[in-house]
């Protein structure tokens, strides 16, 4: 039986390397976990009256936004972003955690664990989305006023640009603060409000590091997505799958790193949170 991977403090580069290592070791299962819910969601689009074209169709002007039913688009976004995505991230948290204690990484077991905490995961993501909307609105309003008073009148669209830039910055700042809600909910068994508070405590004092990790992941995925679009002309599906899976994997590693740094977190504690005893720790991947 091989040694379990130790939990230890890692630099930003080591976090990314560790995330890639885990993805490479369990690539098939990680991608399946990320893909299964989107495959199930795919038929809902036409049922809601939405076209199935990729993002490139929008960029090329082949999909006219006014022709898209607003109600259907709203439902699709809520289902995908606030129901599907929380369950995907919860499943990846569980699968990643199992790989650390060297128990077999099971796809069905991962989704079962995420489903058992489904209401808390969905509630936390809904709460996060609601707060981020408020943060964006407030920050955008401040940006609008700043641009109105600071920039010359001849600059066309200065208020809109100021609102978008400041609103986006404000949203990113607060998203970093609450970036660990999925592992907190799944492993620590807390509710939505407590998850946001716990994530804020864990990221306190390390938010520049978290931002660096987030920026590098987003940059990498943007480059990969742009390459896929250039090569095939169709990148939305691949980009969504890569983002939802790699983003979740990276922030599980960030979560472990911060708990090790602040609390001396160990594999024994992780095993206890997963309900895995010492005899179950083994290497392998089964469904």
DSSP codes joined into one string, 98-145: HHHTT----HHHHHHHHHHTHHHHHHHHHHHHHHHHHHHHHHHHHHHH
pLDDT of residue 59: 36
With contact defined as beta carbons under 8 Å apart, do 101 and 274 qualify?
yes
CB atoms within 10 A of CB 172: 18
Confidence label for 211 from pLDDT (cuts 50, 70 and 90): very high
Q: Please give the residue that has the higher pLDDT: either 70 or 144.
A: 144
pLDDT band of 167, cuts 50, 70, 90: confident
- Of the candidate ranges 18-32, 83-97, 251-265, the one whose mean pLDDT is the lowest: 18-32
| Torsion sign over Cα 73, 79, 82, 84 | negative
- Residues 6 or more apart whose CB falls under 8 angstroms from that of 254 comprise 15, 179, 180, 210, 213
Q: What is the DSSP letter of 82?
A: I
Higher pLDDT, 236 or 285: 236
First to last CA, the chain: 20
Q: Which of the four pLDDT bands, split at 50, 70 and 90, describes residue 282?
A: very low
* Residue 33 in this model has a pLDDT that exceeds 90: no
**Can you tell me the mean pLDDT for 167-179?**
90
Pairwise CA distance, residues 78 & 129, whole Å: 10
- Residue that has been written with the tokens 């969905």 in this structure: 122
3 state DSSP class of 189: coil
pLDDT score of 136 more than 50: yes
Q: Is the pLDDT of residue 3 over 80?
A: no
Distance CA 241, CA 236 (A): 9
127 or 3: which leads in pLDDT: 127
CA distance 55 to 58: 5
How high is the mean pLDDT of the chain? 78
The fraction of the chain above a pLDDT of 90, given in percent, is: 30
pLDDT at 58: 38
Compute the average pLDDT of residues 143-156: 70
Give residues with Cβ within 8 angstroms of 66, minimum separation 6: none
């Amino acid at each position: 039986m091989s040694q379990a991977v130790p939990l230890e403090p890692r630099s930003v580069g080591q976090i990314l390397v560790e995330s890639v290592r885990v993805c490479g070791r369990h690539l098939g299962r990680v991608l399946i976990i990320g893909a299964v819910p989107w495959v199930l969601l795919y038929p809902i689009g036409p049922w809601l009256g939405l076209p199935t074209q990729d993002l490139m169709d929008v960029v090329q002007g082949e999909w006219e936004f006014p022709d898209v039913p607003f109600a259907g688009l709203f439902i699709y976004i809520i289902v995908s972003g606030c129901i599907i995505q929380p369950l995907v991230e919860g499943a990846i948290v569980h699968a990643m955690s199992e790989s650390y204690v060297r128990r077999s990484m099971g796809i069905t077991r991962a989704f079962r664990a995420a489903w058992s905490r489904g209401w808390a995961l969905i509630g936390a993501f809904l709460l996060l989305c609601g707060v981020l909307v408020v943060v964006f609105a407030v920050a955008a309003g401040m940006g609008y006023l700043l641009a109105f008073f600071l920039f010359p009148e001849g600059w066309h669209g200065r208020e809109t640009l100021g609102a978008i830039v400041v609103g986006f910055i404000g949203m990113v700042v607060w998203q970093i603060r609450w970036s660990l809600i999925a592992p907190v909910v799944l492993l620590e068994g807390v509710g939505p409000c407590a998850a946001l508070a716990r994530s804020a405590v864990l990221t306190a004092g390390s938010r520049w590091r978290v931002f660096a990790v987030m920026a590098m992941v987003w940059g990498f995925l943007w480059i990969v997505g742009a390459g896929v679009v250039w090569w095939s002309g169709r990148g939305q599906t691949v980009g969504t799958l890569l983002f939802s899976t790699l983003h979740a994997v990276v922030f599980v590693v960030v979560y472990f790193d911060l708990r090790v740094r602040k609390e001396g977190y160990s594999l024994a504690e992780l095993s206890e949170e997963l309900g895995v005893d010492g005899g179950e720790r083994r290497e392998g991947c089964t469904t």
